[in-house]
A and B are shown apart, each in its own frame.
Chain A
């Protein structure tokens, strides 16, 4: 176990950061919004944290917290602008936001290091830090997926108009989820730059957006668990399938996205839950002749379920 841990530390760290990033996309998708702004805040936080730490302004922990505050405020401001924007328009506006940050990063002079990016950032985080932040992220998303808040999100995803008529404040939920997305992306970015020690202008660009989206689509967009499954799978799979080299990997993941979007829209998690449900139903209604004994068992099973 310890051997396995030691030889896979980097992979574990990358997985945890990928989970945070995937959550930042999933958390808006649960209200039916495709926003890639989380990727932009990931990049923003990378550069911000790197600058604060390299220039010795504040210690690493404070730098990450400061970046988080900036990302939170930034996401809030963005959400004000996005007011009534929905659907593909919102997706493309947020993509434009990500790509603008790329252009700014290239032209940012000494603050961004231009095309070379910034390097020599002190390695200030340990695996334990990353795990803790990742767990906090999961906890927050999990907690807001349950109870009244979770049901409101579910209603918004299914039908915004209907949700409004039921008294759900659409704006409030939109803002809250976009801000949460920004915070999750920001946390992932801050951790990543302190973990890798370098950041380049295209790190948080079109490619990362596609990869993150792939994670959420493959894992399942309805729940935090889907994002976690997808992030772990997409980060881990290439090391298992090492025969897929370079571009072959992109071809495989592209094909996977097409298959999922076409045939399995709710991702692996959706597939799993529907299978479990079907299995349970099969147990409840055993085929063939049914005796009173079996019916008794059946009712017992149902009540035990509840």
Chain B
């Protein structure tokens, strides 16, 4: 049982890394990036290509994933999302077109990976080998520790940074009211680009962690991760970092329990049921008292 809880915690940390970027982009800029899952898979695949059988240290592999993920996301922001944002004033229309365009970008990325791998699972080449420690009968690897520290550390750091730093305050201002924020001298364009880069970078990091942790990844795995992240985000309340962490923990726990105690492949349904329950019954999210676009941390 303890072992299952540990597995759930590691899974939750990867979910957190992946969902944070999505919730940030949606909460701050109103961008629901449906290519987020494809960016995760794409950056892991790029690291596989760059690596080319050279066994690179884990740090290098993670940094590469981070850069490629951030780059992809930034490219989408500059080449697509920004154009759509500038072309219409209608918020709903904007969100809808951004979501549809990102869906197109997602098919392109997934198709490239599927073509390159002939739809077979791929691994990230790294010289890293895991060591398993025995802590009071609990078997925990150094990779698992690293993932948990990264996931929880980054979310804590991000929430502190958003709350305390000058740029963090600017981001929250843009989330609350972009127009007034720009009147106060905040450069929304640069902030949007920075936010999207950070979002993609976290997805890339999550992608490399996931592939190294599981030993391989399927080119099509982005779509299911996307719905998982969406469930986490709406459960936590859009834009809320604390909510994202709680949502990820809940979902990872439920999925692990379903996997352990049932024979069928019902685990993916947990996320879908969560989405429907939350949106239909409690649209402001399970863990937030009011509908917030920005994290109050």
Q: What are the residues of chain A within 8 A of B60 when measuring CB–CB?
A: none
- The answer to whether the Cβ of B5 comes within 8 Å of any Cβ in the partner chain is no
| A103/B265 in contact, CB under 8 A | yes
Report whether B115 and A258 are in contact in the complex, using a CB–CB cutoff of 8 Å.
no
Q: Which one of B32, B80, B111, B266 lies within 8 Å of A88 (CB-CB)?
A: B32
A96 close to B275 (CB less than 8 A): yes
List of B residues within 8 angstroms of A261 by Cβ: 80, 84, 97-98, 100-101, 104
Whether B283 lies near A91 (C-beta < 8 A) is no
Contact A92 B230 (CB under 8 A): yes
Name A257-297 residues within 8 Å CB distance of B: 257-258, 261-263, 265
A253 close to B (CB within 8 Å) = yes
**Quick one: which of A63-105 are within 8 Å of B by CB?**
81-82, 84-89, 91-93, 95-97, 99-100, 103-104
A92 close to B279 (CB less than 8 A): yes
A206 an interface residue at 8 Å Cβ cutoff?
yes
Q: With A97-B276, A251-B112, A261-B101 as given contacts, are A87 and B96 in contact (CB-CB < 8 Å)?
A: yes
Cα-based distance from A99 to B83 in the complex (angstroms): 31
Known interface pairs A93-B279, A250-B108; A34-B269 also in contact (CB < 8 Å): no
The size class of the interface chain B forms with chain A is 35 or more
Is chain A's interface secondary structure helix, strand, loop, or mixed overall?
helix
* Total cross-chain contacts (CB, 8 A): 122
Chain A residues 223-273 with CB under 8 Å of chain B are 246-248, 250-251, 253-258, 261-263, 265
Choose one: B83, B110, B111, B276; the contact of A262 (CB below 8 Å): B83
Residue B264, interface by CB 8 Å? yes
Task: Name the residue among B101, B268, B273 with the largest chain A CB count within 10 angstroms.
Answer: B101
Contact B268 A99 (CB under 8 A): yes
CA gap between A306 and B13 in the complex, in Å: 65
A106 at the interface (CB under 8 A from B): yes
Q: Is the Cβ of A100 less than 8 Å from the Cβ of B273?
A: yes
Residues on the B chain within 8 Å of A92, using CB:
227, 230, 234, 275, 279
Closest B-chain residue to A97, C-beta based?
A: B276
A213 CA / B104 CA spacing, docked (Å): 10
Which B residues are CB-close (under 8 A) to A257? 100-101, 103-104, 107
Interface residue? A32 (CB, 8 A): yes
Which of the listed residues A32, A246, A250, A263 has the most CB atoms from chain B within 10 Å of its own CB?
Answer: A250
CB distance from B135 to the nearest CB of A (A): 36
> Which residues of A have CB within 8 Å of B223?
206
A87 and B92 contact, Cβ closer than 8 Å, known pairs A97-B276, A250-B111, A257-B107: yes
CB distance from A129 to the nearest CB of B (A): 33
Contact call B108/A251, Cβ cutoff below 8 A: yes
A116 at the B interface (CB under 8 A):
no
Nearest A residue (CB) for B269? A103
Which chain B positions have C-beta within 8 A of A217?
100
For B93, list chain A residues within 8 Å (CB): 265
A135 at the B interface (CB under 8 A): no
- Asked if A258 and B105 make an inter-chain contact with CB atoms under 8 angstroms apart, the answer reads yes
The reply on B158 being an interface residue by CB < 8 A is no
- Binary interface profile of B, 67-106, with partner A (CB < 8 Å = 1, else 0)? 0000000000000100110011000110111111101111
* A132 contacts chain B at the CB level, 8 A cutoff: no
User: A301 an interface residue at 8 Å Cβ cutoff?
Assistant: no
The answer on a CB contact under 8 Å between B105 and A96 is: no
List CB contacts (< 8 Å) of B105-130 with chain A. Answer: 105-108, 110-112, 114-115
Is B161 interfacial (CB 8 A cutoff)? no
Q: Which partner residue on chain B sits nearest A214 by CB separation?
A: B104
Which residues of chain A come closer than 8 Å to B133, judged between CB atoms? none
Instruction: Point out the residue from B88, B103, B280 that lies within 8 Å of A81, measured CB to CB.
Output: B280
Query: How far apart sit A34 and B83, CA to CA, in the bound complex (Å)?
Result: 21
* A10 in contact (CB, < 8 A): no
Q: A89 to nearest B CB, angstroms? A: 5
Return chain B residues, CB-CB under 8 Å to A258. 80, 101, 104-105, 108
- Report if A143 contacts B (CB, 8 A): no
- Name the A residues within 8 Å of B105 (CB-CB): 254, 258
Q: Is the CB of A250 within 8 A of B107?
A: yes
Interface, chain B (partner A; CB < 8 A): 32, 80, 83-84, 87-88, 92-93, 95-101, 103-108, 110-112, 114-115, 223, 227, 230-231, 234, 264-266, 268-269, 271-273, 275-276, 279-280, 283
A-B contact pairs, 23 of them (CB 8 A): A34-B96, A34-B99, A84-B283, A87-B92, A87-B95, A89-B234, A96-B231, A96-B273, A103-B269, A106-B265, A210-B107, A250-B108, A250-B110, A250-B111, A251-B108, A253-B107, A254-B105, A254-B106, A256-B104, A257-B101, A258-B80, A265-B88, A265-B93
Given A92-B227, A257-B101, A265-B87, list of 17 further CB < 8 A pairs? A85-B279, A85-B280, A86-B92, A88-B96, A89-B279, A89-B283, A103-B266, A107-B265, A107-B266, A206-B223, A214-B104, A250-B114, A253-B104, A254-B104, A254-B106, A255-B108, A265-B88
